[in-house]
């Protein structure tokens, strides 16, 4: 460094890189950080109401979306979020890539790392995949779902949606209904809701509520009537692959629907209903409930875009200083 001529130093050396930050689990966030992200998302949501929706904020940055599982909502919204912020986006899907040829996640990470991406967004069927990518690339890593572990941006967009629609999260009561055992959405959401001061009741068949989950600070009920108390009914997807013959988590989908399906009769008028998608209409949620005016399901998808813009922006502008930034985004 000392050898560089003082006049050209600034040209040659990029500013020092801030410490890398990742978004892997809601458990890693403080309440202040969640509030900051939700505040950022609000600012970005406003920018999305304009005719010209693109912001120059992350011009020159590279975002890689690495998806090892099928996804519509999450992959499309990350891609669009990065594009709205003018980042260069590369989306890699496991099918049709070197993964098909048996490349290990480590090698894929090393390969992608060669392009010096600023952010790697990864979805993977196995818990801990984002940690592995963080170890083997220099990028900020965003977990877009790892196995049954975490799906932090889903929880953030759910918190954002609740906050916008009900005027706050604190002291609300949310009932999460269905297959909690296999749900990363549920794990992230429980942590997010508890962090923000909401209370949570899990409702579902006993084999699909993991033993020991009460330690996360929630109540458990096996009776669908328990949802009536809640301000928000959050319906989880019933994953059909879990219901194969012999799995025996529940005797049949028919019995599941009969006992735990969210139908118009089981909710109060005006009660808010959410679902992370994709829905199985007629299984975990009745079509009438899904399409009702008080359902927030499309609202959730819309929130996803703003929230993912906020996450990308926050990671790349490193932290609390960014809180003041949103107001000046238009001229950034």
Partner 1 sequence: MLVAPNRPLDDLVIRGARVLDPVEGVDERLDVRVDGGVITQLGAAADANGHRVLDGDGLVLAPAFVDPHVHLRTPGREDEEDLVSGTRAAAAGGYCAILAMPNTDPVVDSAAVLGSLVERARREAEIPVGFLAAITKGQSGEELTEMGELAEAGAAGFTDDGKPVREPGLLRRALQYSAVARPPVALHCEEPTLSRGGQMHEGVTSAELGFGGYPSVAESLMVVRDLALAEYEGRPLHLLHLSARESVEALRQARTAGVAATGEVTPHHLTETDEAVRSLDPNLKMNPPLRAEGDRLALIEALRDGTIAAVATDHAPHARHEKEVPFESAPFGVTGLETAFSVLHTRLVEPGVLPLETLLERMSAGPAGVYGLERPRVAVGAEANLVLLDLSATWRVEETGFRSRSVNSWLLGATLRGRPVATVAAGRLVFAA
Tell me which residues are annotated as active site: 73-74, 101, 123, 151
Burial class (CB in 10 A: 0-12, 13-18, 19+), 173: middle
By beta-carbon proximity to partner 1, the closer residue of 148 and 237 is: 148
Query: What secondary structure, in 3-state letters, does 73-111 show?
Result: HHHHHHHHHHHHCCCEEEEEECCCCHHHHCCCHHHHHHH
Q: Which residue, among 259, 273, 258, has the nearest Cα to 175 in the 3D structure?
A: 273
The neighbouring-strand residues paired with 119 are: 63, 140
By beta-carbon proximity to partner 1, the closer residue of 250 and 290 is: 250
By beta-carbon proximity to partner 1, the closer residue of 84 and 184 is: 184
Distance CA 1, CA 17 (A): 16
| Least distance in angstroms from the C-beta of 44 to partner 1 | 29
Secondary structure (3-state) at 152: helix
Distance CA 26, CA 98 (A): 31
In degrees and rounded to multiples of 5, residue 202 shows phi and psi of -95, 135
Q: Which residues of this chain interact with partner 1, rule CB under 8 A?
A: 27, 104-106, 124, 126-129, 131-132, 146-150, 184, 187, 210-213, 215-216
| Least distance in angstroms from the C-beta of 228 to partner 1 | 26
| Least distance in angstroms from the C-beta of 114 to partner 1 | 18
Answer for the pair 92, 66: CB distance below 8 angstroms, yes or no.
Answer: yes
The neighbouring-strand residues paired with 124 are: 146
By beta-carbon proximity to partner 1, the closer residue of 1 and 215 is: 215
By beta-carbon proximity to partner 1, the closer residue of 55 and 250 is: 250
> Rounded to a whole number, what is the largest CA-CA distance in the chain?
76
| Least distance in angstroms from the C-beta of 202 to partner 1 | 11
Distance CA 151, CA 123 (A): 9
By beta-carbon proximity to partner 1, the closer residue of 27 and 98 is: 27
Answer for the pair 226, 199: CB distance below 8 angstroms, yes or no.
Answer: no
Distance CA 81, CA 44 (A): 10
| Least distance in angstroms from the C-beta of 289 to partner 1 | 27
Residues 6+ apart with CB under 8 A from 330: 47, 55
| Least distance in angstroms from the C-beta of 171 to partner 1 | 23
């Amino acid at each position: 460094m000392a050898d560089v001529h003082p006049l050209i130093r600034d040209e040659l050396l990029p500013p020092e890189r801030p410490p890398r930050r990742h978004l892997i689990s809601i458990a890693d966030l403080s309440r202040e950080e969640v509030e900051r992200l939700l505040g950022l998302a609000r600012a970005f949501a406003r920018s999305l109401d304009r005719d010209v929706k693109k912001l120059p904020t992350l011009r020159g940055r590279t975002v890689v979306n690495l998806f090892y599982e099928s996804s519509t909502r999450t992959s499309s919204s990350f891609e669009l979020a990065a594009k709205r912020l003018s980042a260069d986006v590369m989306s890699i899907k496991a099918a049709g890539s070197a993964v098909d040829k048996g490349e290990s996640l480590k090698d894929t990470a090393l390969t992608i790392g060669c392009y010096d991406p600023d952010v790697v967004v990864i979805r993977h069927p196995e818990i801990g995949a984002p940690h592995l990518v963080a170890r083997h690339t220099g990028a900020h890593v965003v977990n877009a779902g790892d196995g049954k572990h975490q799906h932090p941006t889903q929880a953030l967009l759910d918190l954002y949606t609740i906050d916008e629609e009900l005027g706050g999260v604190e002291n609300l009561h949310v009932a999460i209904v269905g297959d909690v055992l296999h749900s990363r959405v549920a794990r992230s959401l429980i942590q997010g809701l508890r962090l923000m001061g909401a209370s949570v009741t899990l409702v579902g068949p006993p084999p699909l509520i993991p033993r020991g989950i009460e330690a996360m600070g929630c109540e458990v009920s096996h009776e669908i009537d328990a949802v009536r108390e809640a301000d928000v009914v959050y319906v989880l997807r019933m994953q059909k692959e879990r219901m194969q013959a012999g799995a025996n988590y529940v005797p049949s989908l028919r019995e599941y629907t009969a006992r735990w399906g969210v139908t118009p009769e089981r909710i109060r008028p005006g009660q808010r209903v959410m679902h992370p998608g994709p829905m199985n209409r007629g299984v975990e949620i009745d079509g009438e409930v899904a399409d009702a005016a008080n359902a927030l399901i499309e609202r959730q998808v819309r929130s996803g875009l703003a929230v993912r813009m906020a996450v990308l922006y926050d990671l790349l502008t490193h932290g609390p200083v960014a809180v003041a930034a949103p107001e000046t985004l238009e001229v950034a």
